Structure 1
Amino acid sequence: MVMGLINANPVVHEKKERRTRETPGNTDENAVEPIDQLEIFDHIRDIKDPEHPYSLEELKVVTEDSVEISDELSHVRVTFTPTVEHCSMATIIGLCLRVKLMRSLPPRYKVDIRLAPGSHATEAAVNKQLNDKERVAAALENSNLLDIVDECLAPTLG
């Protein structure tokens, strides 16, 4: 038995098969295709859980349905669900989601990261922390925290 983990035996789900993004035919080679829900999900689905060797998709922390996007308004919202109500890694997971999207999306996008309603004991506090620019910037100045985030974002084999 693994000691010290909040959820030592999480339920692991099978990953969905990757789908190719369908884009309408466009004769203008300089046209920029709008970003859609599937593209955002593809950016975040392989983020590794900070405590387990599984992806956020495998743990159902994020799903395709947990992503909302308005390309016209340049707004993305990801609502994630920790595996347990008292998950001590919820803030780290949210920070990983934010950093991945900050690194992947054009800077015009506003990113909103939220816990699913009722999914965490300190939902309001975590949501406030994850969406406060100064708190996020301060967290990313912490080299130990940034190392954890970078490890979760590192590509996996498989």
Structure 2
Amino acid sequence: MTLGLINANPVVHAKKERVVRTEDSHTDDALNLTELHIRDPEHPYSLEQLSVLSEESITVDEKLGRILITFTPTIQHCSMVTVIGLCLREKLKDHFPPHFKVDIKVAPGSHANEESVNKQLNDKERVSAALENPHLRQLVDECLYSSEL
């Protein structure tokens, strides 16, 4: 057990096997999670393994240029919820053109500060300011580019 973790013993789910996408299937309504590879900020598991993120929680509308991601923190008082949202936002920059409108939200009722977290994650100025913080930037980069997954 690691000291200092809010959720020291999360439930870990097996990775799902998926069909590899082809260029022709890029217009599917869901982003393939195997393309994301995001590690949880507190644990050596992916967001998918912790059921924080699922394919069903990602909607991509290429015609309208909109993406909606709804994720579920492992506990109601997760202190890393904004870091997870920042990771999702940053990772999507690698997969979609900049004209896409991205909305990232916590699932209804899944976090004690749901409204303020959603507001923070979808405010461009707040996101930009957070990513200028060297500590937060390092944490986001570790989650996105970790080779442990």
Instruction: Give the match for residue 42 of structure 1.
Output: 34
Instruction: State the TM-score, normalizing by the size of structure 2.
Output: 0.92
Moved over 6 A (4+): none
User: Paired residue for 1:84?
Assistant: 75
Task: Give 1 or 2 for the bigger CA radius of gyration.
Answer: 1
Q: Residues 48 and 157 of structure 1: is their aligned pair in 2 closer, same or farther, counting only changes over 3 Å? A: closer
- CA distance in 2 between counterparts of 1:48 and 1:24 reads 28
Q: CA deviation at 1:23?
A: 5.4
TM-score (norm 1): 0.87
Deviates more, 1:15-24 or 1:125-134: 15-24
- 3-state SS of the aligned residue for 1:106? coil
Alignment RMSD (CA, Å): 1.8
| Aligned residue in 2 for 1:109 | 100
> CA–CA distance in 2 between the matches of 1:131 and 1:90?
13
Count of aligned pairs between the two proteins: 149
Equivalent pair of 2:67/2:103 in contact (CA under 8 Å)? yes
Report the counterpart of residue 19 of structure 1 in structure 2.
19
Structure 1's unaligned 5+ residue stretches are 26-32
Report the AA paired with residue 133 of structure 1: K
Residue 7 of structure 1: how far off its partner (Å)? 0.4
- Whether the 8 Å CA contact 1:21–1:38 is kept in 2: the answer is no
- Cα distance in 1 for residues equivalent to 2:29 and 2:7: 32
Whole-angstrom CA distance in 2 between matches of 1:57 and 1:24: 25
Counterpart residue number, 2:115: 124
